[in-house]
C-alpha cells in the first residue's frame, strides 16, 4: 500500500494554512462542506477568466467549448459512479434539489393515495421533507425504518415494511450524524424482490468511498459537489433510464424541450429533460476537477485513511470524562457525534472555535435522530482526507479546556 501523504495533500488546500483566532485552523466540518484544493479553485477561475459562455445554444467557439467541457464532466461523473449510460447522469443544484426532483418527477407520477414510501429514522431533513410533502399531497403514507441504540437500521423491520403498497425506498448511504454506513446492496435486493425502486442519498457516501451503482443496484443515487472538494451549487442525480424516461419533467423552461407551441410542449430526451434553464456550468466544471483530484489519490486510499483517523479519534475521545457518543456501529464513516455532560453542544462549539477548531453543533438537519437519542443537539467532528492525527489531538485538547471552564 502506498503511504497516504497527508502533508502533501494538505498543501493542496490553501485554507488549511490559515488561522482562526490566531490559531491554525483545524477544520472538522467536512460533513457540512469540504474544502477545495487549488486545482478546483484554478479550474473555476480559469473558466471565469477565459472560457465563460452559455452552453447548448451558441454556434460560436466559446459556447461550443463550454458545452464540451460541461458534457465532459457528465462522462467523468458516469465513470466515477460506474454508470455505462452517460444520459443517466443529471446535473442538479445539489442533493436537496435532486431529491426534490425525484419526489416531484417520480412521486407525482407513480405515488398515489394509499401508497407508502419508506425512509429511515436517520435521514437528513432533505430526504424526509420532500417525501412528507408528497405524501400529504397525494394521500400516501411515510413509513420509517427504526434505528438501534448503536445507530444501525433494523433490517427485520425494514423487510416487514416492504409491501405491495411501497412505491419507493429512500435511504441514506451514510448517516451525517451517526456515521453509519448502511447495507445498501442488501436493502436494494430486498426491495427489488418486490420490484420497488430504491433511492440512495449519497451526500455522505460518494465523497468518502468508491461507489459503484451497478454493484449497489440502486435506481437513484444522489450527491452534492461541495461535500467532495467541489464548489456549491452542483449536485448529481444518477437515475436508471427505465425510470428517468417514464418520469415527468420537474422544472420547465429552456433546454428541456423539443418543441413549444401554445397548444403543446414536447420534451427533450434525458438528461436534458431534467436540466431546465442555464445550469451551474462553472460549478459542474469544478466538480469534474474535484473528482479528478479525488480519483488521483484514490477513493479506496481515502476510505482506508479515514478509518485509521476515525479509530484514533474514537479512542482518544473515549478518554474524555463524561462523553457520550451517538453512533457506534462497526461499519462507520469518519463522523463522530458526541455530547459532554453538563455542557451544551453550542457552548462546546463556541469554545472550540476559540482554539481554531471548527466543528458542527446542533441537530445537523436530522431532528428525528436527536429525538431518537433524546438530545436537543450534539457536537459533530467530521473528517476528510486532509485531516491529521494532530487535528484530532487538538480537538481532544480543546474539549478538555472547554470542560475545565464548565466544571
Q: Using CB under 6 A as the criterion, which residues of the chain lie in contact with ligand 7TS when the complex forms?
A: 31-32, 94-96, 124, 126-127, 172, 176, 201, 203-204, 224, 360, 364-365
Q: How far is the CB of 114 from ligand 7TS (least distance, A)?
A: 28
User: What CA dihedral angle connects 37, 40, 43 and 48, to 10 degrees?
Assistant: -100
Q: How far is the CB of 400 from ligand 7TS (least distance, A)?
A: 25
290, 230 Cβ separation under 8 angstroms: yes
Measured from the CB atom, the residue of 66 and 345 that comes closer to ligand 7TS is 345
Smallest CA-to-CA distance from 80 within 196, 188, 238 is with 238
Distance of CA 148 to the CA centre of its chain: 23
Cell, residue 316: 482518544
Check if 218 is active-site: no
Q: How far is the CB of 365 from ligand 7TS (least distance, A)?
A: 6
Measured from the CB atom, the residue of 96 and 310 that comes closer to ligand 7TS is 96
Measured from the CB atom, the residue of 125 and 344 that comes closer to ligand 7TS is 125
What is the rounded CA–CA span in Å between residue 294 and residue 384? 11
DSSP per residue, 1-22: -----HHHHHHT-GGGG-EETT
What is the rounded CA–CA span in Å between residue 90 and residue 235? 8
Q: How far is the CB of 173 from ligand 7TS (least distance, A)?
A: 8
Smallest CA-to-CA distance from 399 within 362, 335, 355, 333 is with 355
Measured from the CB atom, the residue of 176 and 339 that comes closer to ligand 7TS is 176
Q: How far is the CB of 339 from ligand 7TS (least distance, A)?
A: 17
Q: 169-195 burial by CB neighbour count: b if 16+ within 10 A, else e?
A: bbbbbbbbbbbbbbbbeebbebbeeee
Q: How far is the CB of 227 from ligand 7TS (least distance, A)?
A: 6
Is 147 strand, coil or helix? strand
Give the position of cell 490566531.
22
Sign of CA pseudo-dihedral 405, 32, 326, 395: negative
Cell, residue 331: 461499519
Q: How far apart are the first and last CA of the chain?
A: 45
173, 183 Cβ separation under 8 angstroms: no
Residues carrying an active site annotation: 365
Amino acid at each position: 500500500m502506498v503511504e497516504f501523504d497527508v502533508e502533501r495533500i494538505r498543501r493542496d488546500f490553501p485554507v488549511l494554512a490559515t488561522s482562526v483566532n490566531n490559531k491554525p485552523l483545524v477544520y472538522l466540518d467536512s460533513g457540512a462542506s469540504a474544502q477545495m484544493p487549488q486545482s478546483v479553485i484554478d479550474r473555476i477561475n480559469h473558466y471565469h477568466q477565459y472560457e465563460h459562455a452559455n452552453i447548448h445554444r451558441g454556434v460560436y467557439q466559446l459556447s461550443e467549448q463550454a458545452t464540451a467541457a460541461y458534457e465532459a464532466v457528465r462522462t467523468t461523473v458516469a465513470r466515477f459512479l460506474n454508470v455505462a449510460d452517460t444520459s443517466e447522469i443529471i446535473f442538479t443544484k445539489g442533493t436537496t434539489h435532486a431529491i426534490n426532483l425525484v419526489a416531484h418527477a417520480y412521486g407525482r407520477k407513480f405515488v398515489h393515495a394509499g401508497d407508502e414510501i419508506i425512509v429511515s429514522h436517520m435521514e437528513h431533513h432533505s430526504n424526509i421533507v420532500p417525501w412528507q410533502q408528497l405524501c400529504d399531497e397525494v394521500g400516501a403514507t411515510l413509513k420509517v425504518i427504526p434505528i438501534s441504540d448503536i445507530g444501525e437500521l433494523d433490517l427485520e423491520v425494514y423487510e416487514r415494511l416492504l409491501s405491495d403498497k411501497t412505491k419507493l425506498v429512500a435511504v441514506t448511504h451514510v448517516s451525517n450524524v451517526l456515521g453509519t454506513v448502511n447495507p445498501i446492496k442488501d436493502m436494494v435486493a430486498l426491495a427489488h424482490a418486490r420490484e420497488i425502486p430504491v433511492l440512495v442519498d449519497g451526500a455522505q457516501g460518494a465523497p468518502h468511498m468508491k461507489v459503484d451503482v451497478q454493484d449497489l443496484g440502486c435506481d437513484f443515487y444522489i450527491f452534492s459537489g461541495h461535500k467532495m472538494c467541489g464548489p456549491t451549487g452542483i449536485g448529481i442525480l444518477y437515475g436508471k433510464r427505465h425510470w428517468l424516461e417514464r418520469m415527468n419533467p420537474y422544472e420547465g423552461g429552456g433546454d428541456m424541450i423539443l418543441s413549444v407551441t401554445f397548444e403543446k410542449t414536447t420534451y427533450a430526451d434525458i438528461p436534458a429533460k431534467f436540466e431546465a434553464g442555464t445550469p451551474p456550468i462553472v460549478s459542474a466544471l469544478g466538480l469534474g476537477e474535484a473528482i479528478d483530484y479525488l480519483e488521483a489519490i484514490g477513493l479506496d486510499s481515502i476510505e482506508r485513511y479515514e478509518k485509521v483517523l476515525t479509530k484514533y479519534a474514537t479512542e482518544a475521545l473515549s478518554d474524555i470524562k463524561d462523553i457520550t457518543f451517538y453512533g457506534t456501529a462497526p461499519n462507520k464513516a469518519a463522523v463522530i457525534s458526541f455530547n459532554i455532560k453538563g455542557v451544551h453542544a453550542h457552548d462546546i462549539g463556541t469554545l472550540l472555535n476559540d482554539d481554531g477548531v471548527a466543528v458542527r453543533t446542533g441537530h445537523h438537519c436530522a431532528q428525528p435522530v436527536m429525538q431518537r437519542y433524546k438530545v436537543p443537539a450534539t457536537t459533530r467532528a467530521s473528517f476528510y482526507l486532509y485531516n491529521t492525527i494532530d487535528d484530532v489531538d487538538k480537538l481532544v485538547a480543546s474539549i478538555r479546556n472547554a470542560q475545565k471552564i464548565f466544571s
